[in-house]
């Protein structure tokens, strides 16, 4: 009996040893699978409002054998994941779209949508995009607004703006968001996403900025900016008088310690050189600027304008109504940059550069 037991134990040990060797062989000789052809991608709007449905369409992959394959979708704001299927490799047939509703109860913030393409006998391929959920009324936090702020309504679109009177001139406390009409659109929204128009305002070329202010309001020229700088400077400092000058030690009085979407997302997060007081009440935020490109045909009226946006969270830039005296193709703009405690001046192309706009109205 003892001999039989020893034999059984020896056989069991041998089987176990063979299993370990087999596993090690599998690990050392893992099957190398082929890949699907191409690269998976999909478009996703960078900003969206709650209550909106968005459909995403994957593309870029083909099955090497002309067969179909599937897509596995995961959204960080949903518990349930989805699977869609591309029935055939024909690009004109089903593409495996997935549709998402951003619920009204969703917190403001940034979320991700991920897509993985899979097919039997092939490595999977994945892509991920992010989308930020915003609110026209709530995305800008701590803007320094008061219930007592005077307001006016733009009769063209019914939008209401706050303003502050500084030394006999009314200055808008918010960036202009007027977009014209279908026949004569003006300006573009941040990241070419319309929902951001009412949050950051629109970005206008100089020719647009010259004509876009509401009735009774104008684009501030160089003298308006000098007057503003002198009104908010330290009374002990030397007056400003150079239309091309840099106005030092006043930028903190124009900046507001605003946050975007959440209390910990500071817009002037890099500022270290001057306290942010917003003592002027202008509530300036760093929305950056846009380099403009055009597509389509000017002759048949199909010219489309888009922007490549830069330096949000670093620059607050605004057109002046004054051309560059040294170059007629350019105009002057005023800006605050995060690393210099001054209101600075620059010149940029009238047609291919765009900034937000603040309008002024003389009261004296």
330-354 pLDDT, tens digit each: 999 999 998 888 999 999 999 999 9
| CATH code, domain with 127 | 2.60.40.730
Q: Which of 114, 134, 154 is the last residue of a domain?
A: 134
What pLDDT is stored for residue 86 in this prediction? 74
Is residue 154 domain-shared with residue 266, that is, in the same domain?
yes
Q: Which residues span the domain enclosing 120?
A: 37-134
**275 shares its domain with 152:** yes
| Residue 175 falls inside a structural domain | yes
* Per-residue pLDDT, 292: 97
The domain total for the chain is: 2
Q: Answer yes or no: is pLDDT of 299 > 80.
A: no
Mean pLDDT of 70-86: 92
Using the predicted structure, report yes or no on whether residue 141 has a pLDDT greater than 90.
yes
pLDDT computed for residue 216 by the predictor: 97
Q: Which residue has the tokens 């929204």?
A: 189
Q: What is the pLDDT of residue 82?
A: 92
* Residue 87: predicted pLDDT: 66
**Are residue 237 and residue 215 in the same domain, yes or no?**
yes
Residue 153 falls inside a structural domain: yes
> Is there a single domain that holds both residue 164 and residue 127?
no
Residue at 22 is within a domain: no
- Do residues 144 and 183 both lie within one domain? yes
Question: Which 3 state secondary structure label does DSSP give 134?
Answer: strand
E strand or H helix at 24: helix 2-28
Same-domain check for residues 147 and 176 = yes
Contact 276, 316 (CB under 8 A): no
127 found inside a domain: yes
**pLDDT at 315 exceeding the cut of 90:** yes
Residue 31 has pLDDT above 80, yes or no: no
Domain termination site, one of 101, 116, 134: 134
Q: CB of 204 within 8 A of CB of 319?
A: yes
Residues in Cβ contact with 249 at an 8 Å cutoff, skipping those fewer than 6 apart? 233, 234, 237, 274, 341, 342
Please tell me whether residues 358 and 226 are part of one structural domain. yes
Q: Decide if 197 contacts 356 (C-beta within 8 A).
A: no
Q: Does residue 129 sit in the same domain as residue 221?
A: no
In this structure, the answer to whether residues 95 and 239 fall within a common structural domain is: no
Residues 58 and 166 in one domain: no
Assess whether 81 and 145 both reside in one domain. no
- The answer to whether residue 23 scores a pLDDT higher than 50 is no
pLDDT the model gives residue 339: 84
The answer to the question of residue 28 being in a domain is no
Domain end among 117, 134, 151? 134
- Is residue 102 predicted with pLDDT exceeding 60? yes
Per-residue pLDDT tens over the stretch 173-190:
999 999 999 889 999 999
State the pTM of this model. Answer: 0.87
Q: What is the mean pLDDT of the chain?
A: 89
Cα(145)–Cα(174) distance, integer angstroms? 10
pLDDT band at 25 (very low <50, low <70, confident <90, very high): very low
pLDDT single digits (tens) 319-335: 999 999 999 999 999 99
Do residues 174 and 121 share a domain?
no
21 is a domain residue:
no
Backbone angles phi, psi at 141, to 5 degrees: -115, 145
Which range has the worst mean pLDDT, 46-50, 90-94, 176-180?
90-94
The mean per-residue pLDDT over the stretch 16-44 comes to 68
Residue 14 binned pLDDT confidence (cut-offs 50, 70, 90): very low
**Residue 335, in any domain of the structure:** yes
pLDDT at residue 169 tops 50? yes
The DSSP call for residue 288 is B
Q: Are 62 and 89 in contact (CB under 8 A)?
A: yes
């Amino acid at each position: 009996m003892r001999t039989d037991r020893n034999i059984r134990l020896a056989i069991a040990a041998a089987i176990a040893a063979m299993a370990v060797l087999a596993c090690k062989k599998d690990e050392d000789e893992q099957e190398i699978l082929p890949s699907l052809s191409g690269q998976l991608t999909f478009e996703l709007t960078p900003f969206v409002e709650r209550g909106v449905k968005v459909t995403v369409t994957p593309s870029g992959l083909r099955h090497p054998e002309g067969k179909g394959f599937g897509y596995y979708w995961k959204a960080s704001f949903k518990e349930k994941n989805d699977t869609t299927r591309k029935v055939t490799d024909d690009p004109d047939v089903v593409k495996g779209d997935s549709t998402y509703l951003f619920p009204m109860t969703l917190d403001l913030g940034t979320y991700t949508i991920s897509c993985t393409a899979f097919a039997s006998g092939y490595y999977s391929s994945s892509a991920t995009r992010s989308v930020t959920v915003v609110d026209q009324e709530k995305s800008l936090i701590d803007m320094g607004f008061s219930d007592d702020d005077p307001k006016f309504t733009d009769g063209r679109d019914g939008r209401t703006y706050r303003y502050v009177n500084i030394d006999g001139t009314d200055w808008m406390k918010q960036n202009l968001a007027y977009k014209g009409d279908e026949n004569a659109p003006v300006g573009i929204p941040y990241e070419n996403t319309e929902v951001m128009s009412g949050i950051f305002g629109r970005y206008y070329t100089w020719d647009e900025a010259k004509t876009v202010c509401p009735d009774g309001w104008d684009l501030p020229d160089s003298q308006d900016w000098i007057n503003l700088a002198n009104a908010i400077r330290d009374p002990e400092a030397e007056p400003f008088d150079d239309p091309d000058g840099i106005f030092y030690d006043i930028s903190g009085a124009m900046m507001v310690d605003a946050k975007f979407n959440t209390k910990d997302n500071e817009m002037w997060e890099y500022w270290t050189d001057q306290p942010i007081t917003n003592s002027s009440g202008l509530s300036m935020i760093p929305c950056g600027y846009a380099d403009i490109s055009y597509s389509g045909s000017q002759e048949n009226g199909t010219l489309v304008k888009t922007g490549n946006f830069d330096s949000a969270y670093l620059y607050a830039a605004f057109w002046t109504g004054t051309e560059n005296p040294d170059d007629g193709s350019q105009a002057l703009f005023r800006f605050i940059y995060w690393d210099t405690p001054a209101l600075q001046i620059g010149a940029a192309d009238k047609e291919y550069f765009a900034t937000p706009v603040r309008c002024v109205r003389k009261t004296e």
